[in-house]
């Protein structure tokens, strides 16, 4: 595993290694193509190939919610730069290596916001809807190379980012979210692991272009 983030990845790397896996940490700024390419090069140098890319970087916890016409232009541009352009650039950097490996998987993390329609977060919602569109287009474009491209769209996950974004309204908001689900509990980070592992593995070898909702039964497709 190559753990790549703009923040320190030492804890993630240590967790993987302590479980018997191999991992390296790489500093990554997805808004910089040079940084994305350096990440891909480091992965190939360390492990010889890339077979799976998980695009999880996004601005969420550190943005301000508000009515659509009150979102600062600088914030809008930053959200699009990270949440959309960042995925595109990571794909540009890594997909040639995945193709050289004979195929593999790209997994893009979208959000329930994209299908449910999250109010007072138009920039975030728009960016996550674009992730679904990008997933579908790339799936059609890369299928001939046996590169599968799928998306995962979770509900609000219990992370530091969710706490930061919701602020003092967190507990009430999470209560309302859970009440509107068929499975009435809030999503833990571990609840996403099985879906991502499935999409990364040969168990999903004939699935591409799909968005899997991991939302406790909020959206039924």
Active-site entry in 60, 116, 120, 124: 124
pLDDT score for 143: 98
**165 classed as catalytic:** no
Residue 115, φ and ψ in degrees, nearest 5: -105, -30
Residue 149, φ and ψ in degrees, nearest 5: -125, 115
Please state, rounded to an integer, the average pLDDT across all residues of the chain: 92
Distances (CA, A) of 186 to 72, 168, 217: 30, 17, 11
CA distance 124 to 113: 8
Residue 31, φ and ψ in degrees, nearest 5: -80, -5
Average pLDDT on 63-87 reads 95
pLDDT digits (tens, 9 = 90+) for 116-129: 888 899 999 999 99
- Asked whether the beta carbons of 44 and 97 are under 8 A apart, the reply is yes
pLDDT score for 172: 76
3-state secondary structure of 42: helix
């Amino acid at each position: 595993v190559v753990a790549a983030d703009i923040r320190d990845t030492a804890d993630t790397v240590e967790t993987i290694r302590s479980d018997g896996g191999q991992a390296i940490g790489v500093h990554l700024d997805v808004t910089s193509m040079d940084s994305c390419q350096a990440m891909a090069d480091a992965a190939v140098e360390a492990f010889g190939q890339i077979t799976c890319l998980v695009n999880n970087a996004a601005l969420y916890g550190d943005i301000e919610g508000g009515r659509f016409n009150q979102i600062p232009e600088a914030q809008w541009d930053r959200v699009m730069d990270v949440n959309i352009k960042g995925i595109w650039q990571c794909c540009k950097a890594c997909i040639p290596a995945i193709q050289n490996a004979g195929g593999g998987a790209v997994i893009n993390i979208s959000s329930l916001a994209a299908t449910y329609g999250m109010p007072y977060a138009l920039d975030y919602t728009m960016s996550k809807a674009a992730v679904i569109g990008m997933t579908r287009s790339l799936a059609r474009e890369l299928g001939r190379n046996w590169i599968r491209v799928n998306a995962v769209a979770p509900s609000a996950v219990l992370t530091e980012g969710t706490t930061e974004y919701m602020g003092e309204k967190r507990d009430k908001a999470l209560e309302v979210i859970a009440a509107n689900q068929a499975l009435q509990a809030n999503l833990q980070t571990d609840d996403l692991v099985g879906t991502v592992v499935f999409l990364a593995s040969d168990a999903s070898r004939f699935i591409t272009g799909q968005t899997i909702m991991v939302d406790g039964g909020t959206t039924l497709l």
